[in-house]
Each structure stands twice: as C-alpha cells, then as structure tokens.
Amino acid sequence: MKKRYLIRIFLFGLLAWGGFACKEEEEIEPVIEKPNPNIAINKWINEVMKEVYLWLGEMRTPIADTSDPEDYFESLLNRPTDRFSVIYPDYQELINSLNGITLEAGYEFTLYRESQSNNNVVAEISYVKKNSPAASTPLKRGDYITRINGTQMTLENYRSVIAQIDKPHTLTTLRFNEGSGSFEPQPEISLTAVQLAENPNFMDSVYTINGEKIGYVVYHFFAPGPGNNSTAYDQEMDAIFADFKAKGIQNLIVDFRYNGGGFVSSAVNLASLIAPGVKATDIFSKTKYNSFLMQFDNLKNVQTPFKAKAENLGKILKGNRVYILTSSRTASASELIINGLKPYMDVFLIGDKTTGKNVGSVPFEDEENADNKYGILPIVSRSFNSLDQSDYTNGFGANIEAKESSERLRPLGDVNELLLRKAIEQITGVPSGARFQQLDRVDIASTLDLKNRNGVMIENLNDR
C-alpha cells in the first residue's frame, strides 16, 4: 500500500513537471491587470465634492482611492456638523425615491418597545397609501404588527426583520377594540411589494366647527410629480387650495408630521399658495453656497421669489395665521416653508420639535463613467428667509407641544385625532370634551427614517 502511494505521488509530480515544461515552450502572454474600478469612482466623488460641498474648508483628507466608495465619501465629510450628506449605490433608485417611487407594499409604521419587562417590539401603522397592495387589505392606521413572516420582532432583530418588507411577506396584527379596551388578533395579511408611485397629497378636508370654517391638508413629502418632469402633484395641490378658496375657509391647517422634505420647487409652490397675497417680486428664501461656487455671478446672491398664483388664499386667514402640525421627523423642505413664511405671517406650530435642517442638497451622477452607478447627495447650500434668518439647526419648537406617541392613533382627518384636535381647539377656543388614554411610550424608529427623501431638501443648480 505504501509503495503504491509513493508511486502515485511520483507520477503526479512527473505529470505536473511535464505540463510546466510544455508551458515553457509555448509563448506566454503577459497578464494585464485591470485597474481597480473604485479609483475612477472615488476620483469622481472627490472632484464633485471639491466644487460643491458646503463645508469646503473643513473637508477631510480622503482615505486610499482604492477604498470602497461609500467609505471614501464618508471620509471626506465634516462630521458631526454635517449630519445629512449621503451616498447611494444606485443613482436612479435615489431619483425614483425622491419622486416617491419605491419598491414597497404601501404602508408606513413606527416601532415601539412592547413593554419595559421584555425586549419585544411592535410596529404601529402610521398610514396606508392609496392604490397600494396594502390599501386592498384590512390593514389600517393604528393597527399593531407583532410579527413579520411569523417572526416576533425584538430590540435585537427588528432591523433585519423589517428589511424583509420589500419582498412578498405576511403580517400578524392586532387591533385595539375601543369597546372592550383590549387588543384583538386579526387575520394574517399577505402582501406583495410593487414599484409604487406614492402621491404626497394624502388627504384634504374642510370642516365647519363652532362657526369656524377650517381647511386641512396632509402632505407627506415635496415632489412636483412622479418623475419625467411631471408637475402633477403640484397641480393637484393647486386644485386643493382653489377648493379651499372657493369654500371660503377662514383657517388653514397643514399637516407636516410625516414630511421629511423633498424638492425645493414644490416647497415654493406650496408656500406661494399660503403666504398672504404674495407676488413674484416677494422673496421666499435666500441660498448661500461655498466659497468656490459663490465666485460665479449667478450664485453670489441667490434669491428665490414666491410664485404669483391665482389659488393663493390671500388675506382670508384669521389673524394672518397658518397652523402647521409637526413631529421630530418634520424636516428640511418642511422647515424651509416654516422659516420662509415667518416674515409674512404668524406660523403656529402644534406637535413636536422639528428635525432642524437648514441646508440643502443636489443629487449627482457620474455621466462619463457608465460603470459608476453611485449617486451622491452632498450638502451644498444653506437656506435663509427674506430677513436673513436661518438659525434653526436645533429645530423649530412647537407653540403647543403634543407627541403622536402619547395616544392611540385615530384616522388622519378624524377631529378627535390628537394633533388635529389640538389645532381645532386653538382655532375655536373650545376645549374638546373627549377624554383619551395617555400612553407612556417612546418610538424606537420608523420606516420613514429609511426613505431616501427623509431629511432632504433638493436644489437644482441648473436653475441658478
């Protein structure tokens, strides 16, 4: 046995040597090493940032140009001052998301710890989107999700569990029964994710309460339309305000609680519908860039005027006041409107302190390198109102504080829903006689936090 084993080793060695000898006789072609693709991508990132980054003087020394592009981009940023610059692996997906087009089943939720005595996590439905797979199921605002694909969510696993909802999945849910005062299990729900174009104009209503006519609009993000230069969403908002005006509303409530930002152009459009009788010569906002960009004449003194719109409410609002509903996730373009309206009217906030984002971004793609799919969204500007005010990096505090998490959710538009109820009480001067159970809970996270548009204010340098 031992001899045969040694012979096999010898024969294998002989064959290997013979193969090598044959190779020596053949012409050996030189091996051409391909350059690391990260080098070209990172060079592009660096070139863009050296031109547009707001904190140009504080930009960090980059790491090796062969590094992963996401790590390379991060190495340049002026953290912690810069909280918002971000890179995405796919530019087109970024643009789709900013326009409200994402792969999803059509519902948003907030996560809470089930109890201080265990690590279980439950998800409360914030809203269900129109014309979505979720809209064709019994799922509704206020329902609790306890399991996704049969897995109980916990503090340790909830991130990986909710990562499954962009694929076919099931939900195990509970619904609170007001009559019994308890949660009741609901039939399991099966959902499929689709490429959904979400309309940010979620709902609008007109109420007449104690002699006050009130217009209410819920707006979830700023986008002019579902891509391809569409302005369908802006036009729909114009129509909502035309209806408010025709019905003679005396008070306006704008619900930004879930609005994390979006396109500045849509913010200008909405502000131009609200501010009292503004003209195209009135200044909505001012924009400042870095020292390099402000060398150019068209970027030295950028002022964005209101639009002259027939649907503008004029001076019909009582006390020249607009009521805005806010949360800690109200950010960016929403805050731009709050700041931009302040010189022209009384902006009365109800809810939670806003995020605090007075800076804007521009999306960039590499148009010369087809192999580079990355999109970057660096901070490039800082916004001011017509009075040169911009000091809200810590957020806007509410005139009346109210956290949505402190009560069980009622349908948006229900006059007993917490934030809307507070606004109506302020308008009418009549406290609600209803009594609601107070909940002591703190939200852990929200699906809204995962949106590319969250905390984003998109500028277009080509318009300057």
What's the token pair of residue 386? 């017509």
What is the tens place of the pLDDT at every residue in 185-233?
999 999 999 999 999 999 999 999 999 999 999 999 999 999 878 999 9
Q: Which amino acid is at 222?
A: F
What is the tens place of the pLDDT at every residue in 24-76?
455 667 766 788 999 999 999 999 999 999 999 999 999 999 999 999 999 99
Supply the pLDDT for residue 19: 38
Q: Which domains does the chain have, with CATH numbers?
A: 104-195 (2.30.42.10), 199-463 (3.90.226.10)
**Separation between Cα atoms, residue 255 and residue 381, nearest integer Å:** 26
**Per residue in 253-287, is it b (16+ CB within 10 Å) or e — as a string?**
bbbbbbbbbbbbbbbbbbbbbbbeebeeebbbbbb
**Separation between Cα atoms, residue 172 and residue 154, nearest integer Å:** 14
User: For the CA atoms of 62, 65, 69, 74, what is the dihedral angle to 10 degrees?
Assistant: -10
Supply the pLDDT for residue 463: 56
**Would you say how long the chain is, in residues?**
464
pTM across the whole model:
0.89
Supply the pLDDT for residue 3: 38
3-state secondary structure of 229: coil
- CA distances, 104 to each of 97, 233, 238, 329 (Å): 11, 20, 28, 20
* Nearest CA-CA partner of 240 in 205, 266, 210: 205
pLDDT lower than 70: segments of the chain: 1-28, 31-32, 452, 455-456, 460-464
* Nearest CA-CA partner of 79 in 379, 454, 333, 287: 379
What's the token pair of residue 349? 């906030």
- Residue that is written with structure tokens 């609002």 in the block: 317
Strand-by-strand arrangement of the 375-377 sheet? 86-88, 375-377, 364-365
What's the token pair of residue 433? 């006689």
What's the token pair of residue 352? 């939670």
